[in-house]
A and B are shown apart, each in its own frame.
Chain A
Amino acid sequence: MASLTEPFASGDSFLHGMDPRIRLLAALVLTVPVAVLPELRPAWLALAAGLILVKMARLNMLMALNRLMVVNLFIVFLWLFLPFSVPGEPVFDIGPLHATAQGIDRALLITIKSNAIVVSLMALLGTISIQNLGPALQQLGVPDKLCHILLFTHRYIFSIYQEYTTMRQAMRARGFKPRTDTHTYRAFAWLVGMLLVKSWDRAERVHGAMLCRGFRGRFYTLAAFKTRSADYLFLLACAALSAGLIYLGFIQGRPL
């Protein structure tokens, strides 16, 4: 595992120059309705919008596809089960299993929605560097504790992983080979326990070091957030799009 990288965080596109707070809000208004859409048509529209955002952010297409692959790996499993488990009109048979049109529709809907959300988040959240994400969230009123958890997880997950590898290597150096026996289970339990204790100790030391540098619970950043009028227009456009999706998905064509 490499350390957590932020391949999309640097750039000079319109989106990169936008106030991170606006990007966070835009991500919120766009993705929440998409997640609950029951209709295929607006889901396609959301996917198109997400792709346009990726284009606007001028992300590295290869890396973007790479990330999408990971998401779609999970979705492959839905395609294995959903078409055969949702009741409806049979389309084709594999042995005793009947694939239904409704099942295929359902799987397609989830696929489109997931991809739409992930590409939108890549363009809107992926372009915010981690040092700006904390202050932006705080300024939007997200509780301090949640912001701290997010930032410190990002910073220390790699250190904790290194501690894990070091201890694993030390175990191997003393001839430890994992087997299916109580000795192995106990050794792993101790490893996990020690990892927790070490993380706790480290957290105390880091907190002490921060107090010594005058930390009082609030993060400041060197980056000044400026909201341009174009940013407000962008947010307005996102809100309008979101309203359109809700109309297409929930109101149009349904008896009131």
Chain B
Amino acid sequence: MSHAVIELSDISYAFPGRGETLKGLTFHLHSGEKLGLFGPNGAGKSTMLHILMGLITPDKGEVTLFGASISNAKAFDAARLKIGFLFQHSDDQLFCPTVLDDVAFGPLNQGLSREQATERAREALETVGLAGFEDRVPHRLSGGEKKLVALATILSMRPEILVLDEPTTGLSPEAKDRLVDILKKLDMARLVVSHDPDFLAATTDRLLAMRDGRIQPGELKPHSHVHVHEEGDVPHQH
């Protein structure tokens, strides 16, 4: 069995003034693994992601990234450079005046030269099919384009793991399909949190359910549901 790259053991966390959001959560992601995470609103999915990125400090429990136990902010700084975290709202992630600056922001922080960072950025934009968008203004793009630029901003850092927090929120079916196509071509380990079973089935190999602050034992099997769209009576494929 391949080694675990993300390990959360016995994590508990309560937001100030509220009950426990996470109650002794344990979770593993192995290298090369593509996991989907499913669960109702308020189950603690986003909280778990923020804890594994070191944006929230858990009340109890241990975070182990790439085999090393992470206890302080400095250790997170290094580990974060290898985990690409896609935020739920692209507007939170994109803040630079141009698309190219935004995509090159991570590589520059990694210490690459300007030439290298620019090259990485162009490469990442090409991967998400947005070559030619370099000089556009991020906050004036469409929702779908913003999501793809946000994905490019983390791909340009060449992460070992992708962590996607509800990537399909607010996307049109076309934009969603585009995102699925891109993710299918990417080989790295990933953890996808989503409410969209079709999306999870298309982009991950294994599904876990989260409820009441814990990962539920057992695996989910995707199966198809009735859906509606124009010209649905014509035979077609998805």
A contact set with B: CB distance below 8 Å: 3, 129-131, 152, 154-156, 158-159, 202, 205-206, 208-216, 220-224
Contacts and interface: CB of A to CB of B under 8 A. Distances in A.
A138 B114 CA distance: 17
B109 A213 contact: yes
Interface size class of B (residues with CB under 8 A): 35 or more
B87 A220 contact: no
Given A131-B97, A155-B97, A213-B105, A205 B89 contact: yes
Contacts of A156: 95
B154 interface: yes
B92 A211 contact: no
Contacts of A131: 96-98, 101
Interface string B95-130: 111101100111011100010011000000000000
Contacts of A208: 50, 53, 55, 87, 92
14 contacts: A129-B97, A130-B97, A131-B97, A131-B98, A202-B92, A205-B87, A206-B93, A209-B87, A211-B77, A212-B55, A212-B85, A213-B105, A214-B77, A221-B114
Contacts of B117: 220, 222
Given A206-B93, A214-B77, A214-B81, 8 more contacts: A154-B97, A205-B87, A208-B87, A212-B83, A212-B85, A212-B154, A213-B106, A221-B108
Residue of A155, A216, A220 with most chain B CB atoms under a 10 A cut-off: A220
Contacts of B139: 3, 155, 158-159
A210 B93 CA distance: 7
B91 A159 contact: yes
B97 A216 contact: no
Give the secondary structure class of B's interface: helix
Contacts of A212: 53, 55, 80, 83, 85, 87, 154
A129 B137 CA distance: 13
What is the predominant secondary structure among interface residues of chain A facing chain B? helix
Nearest to B110: A214
Contact of B80 (A129, A130, A152, A211): A211
Contacts of A159: 91, 139
B11 interface: no
B157 interface: yes
A213 B157 contact: yes
Interface in B124-162: 137, 139-140, 153-154, 157
B106 A209 contact: no
A166 to B, nearest CB: 13
A212 B30 CA distance: 20
B95 A214 contact: no
Instruction: Kindly list the 8 A-B residue pairs having the minimum CB-CB distance in the complex, ordered from nearest.
Output: A214-B109, A220-B108, A213-B106, A205-B92, A208-B55, A212-B85, A209-B93, A131-B97
Identify which of B96, B114, B117 gathers the most chain A CB atoms within 10 Å of its CB: B96
Contacts of A206: 92-93, 95
Contact of A222 (B77, B85, B93, B118): B118
A212 to B, nearest CB: 4
B108 to A, nearest CB: 4
Contacts of A158: 139
A215 B114 contact: no
A209 B92 contact: yes
Contacts of A202: 92
A216 B89 contact: no
B76 to A, nearest CB: 8
A156 B94 CA distance: 10
B104 A222 contact: yes
Contacts of B80: 211-214
A215 B55 contact: no
A155 to B, nearest CB: 5
A183 B91 CA distance: 33
B95 A152 contact: yes
Interface in B177-236: none
